[in-house]
């Protein structure tokens, strides 16, 4: 399958009080046409930073994005997003590549009606004449995300809607320009469990019915196992393992992945003792030269602290960064 997005050696740093915080470190990720990849890992591992870095939403003085390239295939061309000027990047964001974030309240303006906001998102990317029925188009997308009474929602203010409804509006907004790539950053994490399930059902529907390619960021491995074609496990700003979903879940290779899976509650085996991972994800600025997981790893040896393990191949799709392999 053709690669739609090829991220090469991408890094991101934040700047805070004169220190450089290397939150994303030389990450290589690719996404094929029609594929859903998941980015997993504990909180603080750099998942959100990756999403922001791809869309170049980290800028001086808050931080910087560096790296070799982020190749995006658009029609017959390939463009390097890393080299694009902000003006060009703005044409891609929300049109060719859309982002849905965790907090449903953060993306919409609370004092503007939904119809105006959706129309604005549509208009930025279309040379529309005045008489086009943008409300009609918006309604179509609100229906697509299973919002009841789209007409009523269209004329509501964000504060009149529940978190779950608002997240559906955000997803409709992300889809309204027919993007090639949808990046979702923990899109259901802030919602009630019952609402989460309904929104995930909709994500499954989107996957089946549209030719979308998706980057799905989540710390919920149960969700990922059902939803993604391939998985990238991130730890302390790096990808430590990648592989087809089945391989990651049946033959995990990195001690971090194994630890994450052992900490996973099994729906069919309640009461089973869960192992928690000792220690915490280190702060990016405190990470040394070796494997960042070494301090929490029961297999670590001196060498793990002193040099970064190379990425080793397990099969054509399955790779890990651990000397144990
Ligand atoms: N704006 C910021 N300024 C400084 N540090 C940040 C900022 N955003 C995130 N970080 C730090 O970068 C690291 C990765 O964060 P993040 O990408 O949000 O991880 P995740 O999404 O996996 O939870 C964390 O250590 C976090 O504290
Ligand atoms: Mg995050």
pLDDT of residue 269: 64
**Ligand 1 atom closest to Cα of 49?**
17
Domain locations along the chain = 3-96+181-320, 107-178
Q: What is the pLDDT of residues 250-271, one digit of tens each?
A: 999 999 999 999 998 765 566 6
283 lines ligand 1 (CB under 6 A): yes
pLDDT of residue 284: 97
Lowest mean pLDDT among 24-38, 265-279, 287-301, 307-321: 265-279
Say if CB 28 and CB 8 are below 8 A apart: yes
pLDDT of residue 286: 96
Beta-carbon contacts of residue 92 (< 8 Å; ≥ 6 apart) = 72, 74, 81, 84
pLDDT of residue 129: 66
- Nearest residue by C-alpha to atom 26 in ligand 1: 44
Q: What is the pLDDT of residues 24-70, one digit of tens each?
A: 999 999 999 999 999 999 999 999 999 999 999 999 999 999 999 99
**Ligand 1 atom closest to Cα of 16?**
4
pLDDT of residue 264: 86
45 lines ligand 1 (CB under 6 A): yes
Q: In percent, how much of the chain has pLDDT > 90?
A: 89
* C-alpha torsion angle, residues 40, 43, 45, 47 (rounded to 10): 60
24 lines ligand 1 (CB under 6 A): no
Q: What is the pLDDT of residues 104-142, one digit of tens each?
A: 999 999 999 999 999 999 998 887 666 789 999 999 999
- Look at residues 62, 2, 59, 53 and name the one whose alpha carbon lies nearest to residue 27: 53
251-254 own/partner pairs: CB under 8 Å, 24+ apart: 251/314, 251/318, 253/314, 253/318, 253/320, 253/322, 253/325, 254/293, 254/320, 254/321, 254/322
Q: What is the pLDDT of residues 170-214, one digit of tens each?
A: 999 999 999 999 999 999 999 999 999 999 999 999 988 888 999
Q: Which residue has the tokens 């990849």?
A: 37
pLDDT of residue 267: 55
CA of 57 to the centre of ligand 2 (A): 14
Q: Which residue has the tokens 């879940």?
A: 249
19 lines ligand 1 (CB under 6 A): no
- 93, pLDDT greater than 70: yes
- What's the whole-model pTM score? 0.96
> What's the whole-number average pLDDT of the chain?
94
What does the angle CA 167 – CA 3 – CA 188 come to, to the nearest 5 degrees? 15
Of 17, 23, 236, best ligand 1 pocket probe by most atoms within 8 Å of the beta carbon: 23
**Ligand 1 atom closest to Cα of 237?**
14
**Ligand 1 atom closest to Cα of 185?**
21
Q: Which residues pair with 53 in a beta bridge?
A: none
Mean pLDDT of 289-303: 96
282 lines ligand 1 (CB under 6 A): no
Say if CB 61 and CB 16 are below 8 A apart: no
**Ligand 1 atom closest to Cα of 46?**
17
Query: Binning pLDDT at 50, 70 and 90, where does residue 272 land?
Result: low
pLDDT of residue 268: 56
Count of CB atoms situated within 10 Å of the CB of 128: 12
CA of 303 to the centre of ligand 1 (A): 28
CA of 177 to the centre of ligand 1 (A): 29
| Yes or no: domain 3-96+181-320 corresponds to CATH 3.40.50.300 | yes
Q: 3-class SS at 192?
A: coil
294 lines ligand 1 (CB under 6 A): no
Output DSSP code: residue 238: E
- 234, pLDDT greater than 90: yes
- Look at residues 264, 87, 105 and name the one whose alpha carbon lies nearest to residue 191: 105
């Amino acid at each position: 399958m053709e690669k739609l997005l090829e991220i090469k050696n991408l890094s991101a740093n934040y700047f805070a009080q004169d220190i450089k915080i290397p939150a994303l470190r030389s990450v290589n990720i690719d996404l094929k046409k029609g594929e859903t990849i998941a980015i997993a890992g504990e909180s603080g591992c750099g998942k959100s930073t990756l999403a922001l870095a791809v869309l170049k939403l980290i800028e001086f003085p808050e931080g910087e994005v560096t790296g070799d390239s982020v190749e995006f295939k658009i029609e017959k061309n390939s463009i390097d997003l890393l080299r694009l000027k902000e003006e060009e990047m703005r044409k891609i964001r929300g049109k060719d590549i859309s982002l849905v974030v965790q907090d449903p309240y953060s993306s919409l303006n609370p004092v503007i009606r939904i119809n105006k906001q959706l129309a604005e998102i549509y208009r930025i990317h279309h040379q529309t004449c005045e008489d086009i029925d943008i409300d009609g188009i918006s309604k179509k997308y609100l229906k697509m995300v299973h919002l009841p009474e789209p007409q009523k929602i269209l004329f509501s203010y964000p504060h009149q809607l529940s978190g779950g409804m608002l997240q559906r509006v955000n997803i409709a907004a992300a889809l309204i320009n027919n993007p090639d790539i949808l990046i979702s950053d923990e899109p259901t994490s802030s919602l009630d469990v019952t609402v989460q399930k309904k929104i995930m059902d909709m994500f499954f529907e989107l996957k089946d019915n549209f030719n979308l390619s998706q980057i799905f960021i989540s710390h919920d491995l149960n969700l990922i196992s059902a939803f993604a074609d391939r998985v990238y496990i991130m730890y302390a700003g790096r990808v430590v393992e990648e592989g087809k979903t089945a391989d990651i879940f049946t033959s995990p290779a990195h001690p971090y992945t194994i630890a994450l899976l052992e900490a996973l509650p099994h729906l069919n085996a309640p009461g089973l003792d869960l192992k928690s991972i000792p220690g915490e994800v280190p702060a990016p600025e405190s990470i040394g030269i070796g494997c960042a997981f070494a301090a929490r790893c029961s297999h670590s040896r001196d060498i793990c602290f002193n040099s970064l393990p190379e990425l080793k191949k397990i099969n054509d799709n399955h790779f890990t960064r651990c000397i144990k392999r």
